[in-house]
Structure 1
Amino acid sequence: MGDKANGLGGEVTYYTWEEVQKRCTRDERWLVINRKVYNITKFCYRHPGGSRVISHYSGQDATDPFTAFHIDKELVQKHMKCLLIGELAPGEPCIEPSKNAAMVEDFRTLRSTVEQMGLLNPNKLFFCGMLLHVLLLDMLAWLNLYYFGTSFIPLLITALLLGTVQAQAGWLQHDFGHLSVFSKSKWNHLVHHFVIGHLKGAPASWWNHMHFQHHAKPNCFRKDPDINMHPLLFALGKKLAVELGLKKKKYMPYNQQHKYFFLIGPPALIPVYFQWYIFYFAVQRKKWVDLAWMITFYIRFSYCYIPLIGIGGTIGLFMFVRFLESNWFVWVTQMNHIPMHIYYDENKEWLSTQLQATCNVDQSLFNDWFSGHLNFQIEHHLFPTMPRHNYWKAAPLVRSLCKKYGVNYQSKPLFTAFADIVSSLKESGELWLDAYLHK
């Protein structure tokens, strides 16, 4: 166990990195934040962000993700006092021995610079404008059917407008989700529930549960839920695809996955999977407030469109809108991640972890709007609580740091990023087949 010494505040227990790294089991989970050692074995199940996201850092230094995710750190630290069990021994380095200490320190300096520049402060007028533009599109969709009839063209226009509403509301709730979690602001929480619950019909708790795992360990197999389609549907990543082939596992014809992606990827994720899973999630976890917000969406949608196009027409319109939303969502979210490095958790520096799993798409007014500024995926992953209107200001600073340490900072044209999804699936499928046929 750790050594003990008397300090001004009483007896302090000291631990080595080796002792901490052993505590990453189901029975015992420790982590380090700013040299202090915390036992999260029981607390992880009460963690507001979910048990998994904090458990993913068991046995590791969680200083950088802690800093990245928590807006009101003083509030959070009050709850952490009862978890504190000691500190790293005086002879132990501040940074895990396996990591590049200079890179870690330089990134933390960059983080301080970003804070001092005010880049983590949201512009309320910007987000009010984004919310109003979503509400306006939603209203125009209904007015279009009301005034121009229910023939094919007005129905198509309404569907396109509603699909745009769902996509843009998705990017907006993503903003408020990052700005509201671990924050004392009740307005952020309320607006987040309104946008994701009332405008989209999904539970805020589900988004928190899934999305923060993705940010904590992007593209890490068994830790990032966004790549859970491996191996049941797709063979993702070069190394994982080869490993799957060598184990002679074949759940799907992966060498054809770049083709069937167009059938079971973009068009099906939301209408086929998410549509039922979000209700299952809310009920199974007893998230009744989220469920109530979700129901208001379906009541409003039914009230608006059943009088105009009937029950069957409303169901058809709803499913087509989900189909459009699904295509938009999948292409935008996966263009930054699927073509990148996908493997098990390698516990690298925060900068390296995020950069090997993300890339950017070139800036333009259309790309910014179309992707909800997630074309700046690198900056978003490094600073999850940074409001999207400031990504472009942080980008030159991030580029400079990446250049200093030889970290690959990728930025692509939009359609190149789309094409890379397909080409990366084709490549990993071929690697799987070669390994599968290898004797």
Structure 2
Amino acid sequence: MAKVTFNNKNKAFFNALKTRVDAYFQENKIKRTGNFELYAKTAVLIPGAVLIYVSLLFFPIPAAVKLLMSGVLGAILASIGFNVMHDACHGSYSSKKWVNDVLGLTLNALGGNAFIWKFKHNIIHHTYTNVDGLDDDIAKSPLMRQCRTQKWVPAHRYQHIYVVLVYAISSFAWVAMMDFNKYFKARVNNTPLQKMTFSDHLVFWVSKVLYVIFYVAIPVYFLGWGPWAIGFTVMHLVMGLTLALVFQLAHVVEHAEFEFAGADPVQIENEWAIHQVKTTANFAPRNKFINWFVGGLNYQIEHHLFPRISHVHYPALSEIVQDTCKQFNLTYNTFPTMTAAVASHFRMMKQLGQEE
């Protein structure tokens, strides 16, 4: 694994930012973890998913409506991932570790694995954001070229078109292949996976079996192979496209910067916090529905700077971050709408596809 270090000798930006953020929580006498807003979302999303699941299995509903409900289920599952799982796996849902651990397992209920995801996302992605060769989130080459240091192949000329299909099937690929690939290789991209305990292995296999039971066996038993296959496909297409797009808009957009980790040790000139600002972008900060649905992940800059603070605080913290960025002459990358961010992402993918 390439060794990458940051110039953290003088963490002036982060120290100034942390002082102001600490003061915000102290002055307002609030916790950094979730609050009633987050708990209310959990009480809506998880029972909502269960209700749709049960309705699809046991109620006589017209086929067209079931198709629509399958898509809605996929969107709700994605929102559970954004809101509940994401905060819990970062340890920011609750001040109680056991609550975070339990709710982090909602990822396993979606078909993933919390242990592998925490290592992949919390440690690698949040440390080496947009560092080609380390960040697994941009390690899709040669299928997709997401930065200029990645090898170009002729098929990339059309990647801005076919990535829509890639994103749509991404959650199915995650459940069926990618977790197993990382598990058996004991690696995430070029980084050795943390050692798993017996209980980690047990949870991995039990949750994978339960996924097959609840998402395949039970629906097939009550509905038959055909209806199950159609509903399962629609659910995953919506879920995959939703998850992929939201995370792509955070880092693979115009103005976001990239670094390259080759065979030799790499010294990134900026401190870690400045690197996070330069490699990350926000979108639709004033859209309350998007903020609610994506669990504050439209405030990715704040999330990358303070991943252990719950997303419910990001709108307030964004004012502090923007002001501190101005003091240090740092560009605060943000798109006013989600449409603008999506357009930027696809423009960038097209540009990267034209270059040899």
* TM-score (normalizing by structure 1): 0.68
Alignment check: 8 A CA contact 1:142 1:304 kept: no
Extract unaligned runs of 5+ from structure 2.
187-195, 262-267
Pairing partner for 1:420 from 330, 344, 348 = 344
In structure 2, the residue matched to 1:357 is 279
Pairing partner for 1:289 from 196, 203, 206 = 203
Question: Alpha-carbon deviation of 1:284?
Answer: 5.9
Question: Alpha-carbon deviation of 1:115?
Answer: 4.9
Q: Does 1:276 find its partner at 2:188? A: no
In structure 2, the residue matched to 1:344 is 260
In structure 1, the residue matched to 2:190 is none
In structure 1, the residue matched to 2:189 is none
In structure 2, the residue matched to 1:79 is none
Q: Assess, with a 3 A threshold, how the Cα gap between structure 1 residues 272 and 314 changes in structure 2: closer, same or farther.
A: same
Pairing partner for 2:333 from 400, 410, 413 = 410
Q: Assess, with a 3 A threshold, how the Cα gap between structure 1 residues 376 and 210 changes in structure 2: closer, same or farther.
A: same
Q: Any idea what the Cα deviations from partners look like across 1:158-203, whole Å, max 9, x if unmatched?
A: 202321232112112111000179x87222212212x1123x1221
Question: Alpha-carbon deviation of 1:143?
Answer: 4.6
Give the Cα–Cα distance (whole angstroms) in 1 for the partners of residues 208 and 269 of structure 2.
37
Question: Alpha-carbon deviation of 1:409?
Answer: 0.9
Pairing partner for 2:238 from 321, 324, 342 = 324
Q: Any idea what the Cα deviations from partners look like across 1:79-99, whole Å, max 9, x if unmatched?
A: xxxxxxxxxxxxxxxx52xx6
Runs (4+) of structure 1 exceeding 4 A deviation are 117-120, 282-286
Alignment check: 8 A CA contact 2:6 2:270 kept: no
In structure 2, the residue matched to 1:15 is none
In structure 2, the residue matched to 1:83 is none
Q: Does 1:197 find its partner at 2:108? A: yes
In structure 1, the residue matched to 2:192 is none
Q: Does 1:217 find its partner at 2:156? A: no
In structure 1, the residue matched to 2:193 is none
Q: Any idea what the Cα deviations from partners look like across 1:301-322, whole Å, max 9, x if unmatched?
A: 3465234311343243223211
Question: Alpha-carbon deviation of 1:104?
Answer: 4.3
Pairing partner for 1:158 from 69, 87, 92 = 69
Q: Any idea what the Cα deviations from partners look like across 1:258-283, whole Å, max 9, x if unmatched?
A: 2222233x122222354222244446
Matched ranges for 1:48-127 at <5 A: 95-96=8-9, 102-117=12-27, 121-127=32-38
Alignment check: 8 A CA contact 1:119 1:390 kept: no
* TM-score (normalizing by structure 2): 0.82
In structure 2, the residue matched to 1:174 is 86
Q: Does 1:399 find its partner at 2:322? A: yes
Q: Does 1:373 find its partner at 2:283? A: no
Q: Assess, with a 3 A threshold, how the Cα gap between structure 1 residues 369 and 252 changes in structure 2: closer, same or farther.
A: farther
Higher relative contact order (CA 8 A, sep 6+): 2
Q: Assess, with a 3 A threshold, how the Cα gap between structure 1 residues 148 and 190 changes in structure 2: closer, same or farther.
A: closer
Question: Alpha-carbon deviation of 1:252?
Answer: 4.0
Which range moved further: 277-286 or 357-366? 277-286
Q: Assess, with a 3 A threshold, how the Cα gap between structure 1 residues 282 and 114 changes in structure 2: closer, same or farther.
A: farther
In structure 2, the residue matched to 1:86 is none
Q: Name the Cα RMSD after superposition.
A: 2.7
Q: Any idea what the Cα deviations from partners look like across 1:351-377, whole Å, max 9, x if unmatched?
A: 321111111112222111232210111
Give the Cα–Cα distance (whole angstroms) in 1 for the partners of residues 214 and 157 of structure 2.
44
Give the Cα–Cα distance (whole angstroms) in 1 for the partners of residues 120 and 232 of structure 2.
24
Give the Cα–Cα distance (whole angstroms) in 2 for the partners of residues 119 and 402 of structure 1.
24
Match of 2:132, SS?
Answer: coil
Alignment check: 8 A CA contact 1:107 1:401 kept: yes
Q: Any idea what the Cα deviations from partners look like across 1:69-118, whole Å, max 9, x if unmatched?
A: xxxxxxxxxxxxxxxxxxxxxxxxxx52xx6x543432342353355355
In structure 2, the residue matched to 1:52 is none
Q: Assess, with a 3 A threshold, how the Cα gap between structure 1 residues 256 and 164 changes in structure 2: closer, same or farther.
A: closer
Alignment check: 8 A CA contact 2:17 2:320 kept: no
Which amino acid in structure 2 is aligned with residue 256 of structure 1?
Y
Q: Assess, with a 3 A threshold, how the Cα gap between structure 1 residues 105 and 174 changes in structure 2: closer, same or farther.
A: closer
Q: Assess, with a 3 A threshold, how the Cα gap between structure 1 residues 114 and 210 changes in structure 2: closer, same or farther.
A: farther
Which range moved further: 401-410 or 106-115? 106-115
Extract unaligned runs of 5+ from structure 1.
1-25, 27-54, 62-94, 245-249, 434-439
- Structure of greater Rg: 1
In structure 2, the residue matched to 1:130 is 41
Which range moved further: 127-136 or 115-124? 115-124
Give the Cα–Cα distance (whole angstroms) in 2 for the partners of residues 304 and 347 of structure 1.
54
